[in-house]
Amino acid sequence: MFCKYCGKEIDESVKFCKYCGENIVLPDGQLIKQKGFSKKIPLIILLFSFFVFGIFLIDKISNKQDFSVDQSKIISSVVNIYCESTISEEDSMGGSGTIITEDGLILTNSHIIPQEEDYLNIYEKGCIVVLPDPITGYPDEFFWAHPIVIPDISDYYDLAFMEIYNAYYDEEEKAFWGVYPREFPVYESPIKCRDENVQLGESIRIYGYPELVGGGYSLTITDGLVSNFLGGGLIATSAKISSGNSGGLAVDQNGCMIGVPSMIISDENERFGVIISSDMINEFIDSYNEMFE
């Protein structure tokens, strides 16, 4: 008897060809299965592997931290702020802010502005605002801005405004370091943000100017998770936040604003950033608007 698959001579009593391993069909057409693993099993395993890999890939894509929005627009709107104190250089302060109107209104933390209970400890010209290069994050344009600190309300929310009013003029070089007036790059929430709620464990991104990186001069971005809802409109995050980040911007993967990085909480083992939530920011803006109605 010869195997019809490989042509080798085999014994009539065998159930499979010892040369090629194929099953032997008996005269009545009945198929005798080879003992051991079926040849279909490797295919099943392969298909299952593709199925598992597909689920893994979909999960990675749906949870990846790469943004689907134009990040350069977000970068352009987050500015560096420096306020020189009238008391001493040690009392001078700096931080971050986000441009929210095209004419140069900036949202920031109140605590980055040198001040006493009843007055600001800054020079008449105000604070210096630095816009970043959207590609590198390095300083690009410099402007003067007046702080807008609202009595009681700014203290309660730790929020304030800066209003750009002119380009910075270098007395030595006899040149402006920015163009004014102009339309400033504004942070704009995508339409999808309107019905979006912050969820525990979701990925977020922090934009700001921490002193630990680049001396606080260039924009720095860190990623993390929503770690805890602290109550009182505050959110804890595992994203790195340090001095200089205050007043910056926290967004989710869709570019939706989560809030303003404001402070840190830590012990000898752990360190978390604290964000003033968008709900608190909206309350602050509503209170501000009510004052001028």
Domain ranges of the chain: 1-50, 71-176, 192-291
* CATH assignment of 71-176, among 2.40.10.10, 2.40.30.20, 3.40.50.2000, 2.40.160.10: 2.40.10.10
Report the alpha-carbon distance of residue 293 to residue 290 in Å, rounded.
5
Instruction: Quick: pLDDT tens for 30-51.
Output: 433 333 333 333 444 333 343 3
- What integer pLDDT is reported at residue 48 of this predicted model? 37
Q: Locate tokens 């971050």: which residue?
A: 96
Backbone angles phi, psi at 264, to 5 degrees: -130, 155
Instruction: Quick: pLDDT tens for 268-285.
Output: 777 899 999 999 999 999
* Least reliable range by pLDDT among 60-74, 137-151, 229-243, 256-270: 60-74
- What integer pLDDT is reported at residue 235 of this predicted model? 95
CA 104 to chain centre: 23
Instruction: Give residue 52's pLDDT band: very low, low, confident or very high (50, 70, 90).
Output: very low
E-assigned strands of 171-288?
Answer: 175-176, 203-208, 220-231, 234-237, 249-252, 257-266, 271-277
- What integer pLDDT is reported at residue 116 of this predicted model? 85
Q: Which of 23, 177, 160 is nearest to 83 (CA)?
A: 160
Contacts of residue 263, defined as CB under 8 A and 6 or more positions apart, other chains included, come to 241, 246, 273, 274
CATH 2.60.40.10 describes domain 192-291: no
Instruction: Quick: pLDDT tens for 192-238.
Output: 676 568 889 999 999 999 988 777 889 999 999 999 999 999 999 99
Report the alpha-carbon distance of residue 245 to residue 261 in Å, rounded.
6
* Least reliable range by pLDDT among 45-49, 85-89, 156-160: 45-49
Report the alpha-carbon distance of residue 143 to residue 128 in Å, rounded.
6
Instruction: Give residue 17's pLDDT band: very low, low, confident or very high (50, 70, 90).
Output: low
Report the alpha-carbon distance of residue 239 to residue 226 in Å, rounded.
8
Model confidence at 94: pLDDT above 70: yes
Q: Which of 132, 106, 97, 128 is nearest to 218 (CA)?
A: 132
